[in-house]
A = this chain, B = another copy of it.
């Protein structure tokens, strides 16, 4: 984790800019075999060409959270989905986010509820998940396709 306070704030601001420009913050509701309720995944991810994977590894080393993988399509990804780490990361970047502030807040509240084992309203949750997906629409989608 970054040490001096000024440096920490600048690195946090940089990360917020990177996530606003190119990252994803989203909720996934996953069916579970034999269960009525779904598994709730809250994910923060940053992607890069696989030849830039060192850059992602450096971010992971700096913040000491998340994992690095190379997706099937050859894109490198730094993804954070462990709940305590998602909470930590969103708290770090939240003050500096400009574009993805709202979905960060929704996900932060949700991850805190999950960490406290609060009972979830799955109707509300699906609404939030849909809302967050809509906010993540890609730049080129012109509001038609969905991204991430």
Copies in the complex: 2
A102 within 8 A of B: no
Comparing A5-13, A32-40, A82-90, A123-131, the segment that makes contact with chain B is A5-13
8 A Cβ contacts from A107-148 to B: 137-143
Residues of B within 8 A of A21 (CB): 17-23, 46
A146 to chain B, nearest CB (A): 13
8 A Cβ contacts from A40-99 to B: 46-49, 51-52, 55, 58, 73-75, 96, 98-99
CA distance A99 to B54 in the complex (A): 10
CB <8 Å contact, B17 and A139: no
Residues of B within 8 A of A75 (CB): 139-140
From A6, A10, A48, name the one whose CB has the most chain B CB atoms within 10 angstroms.
Answer: A10
A16 within 8 A of B: yes
Q: Which residue of B lies closest to A52 (CB)?
A: B99
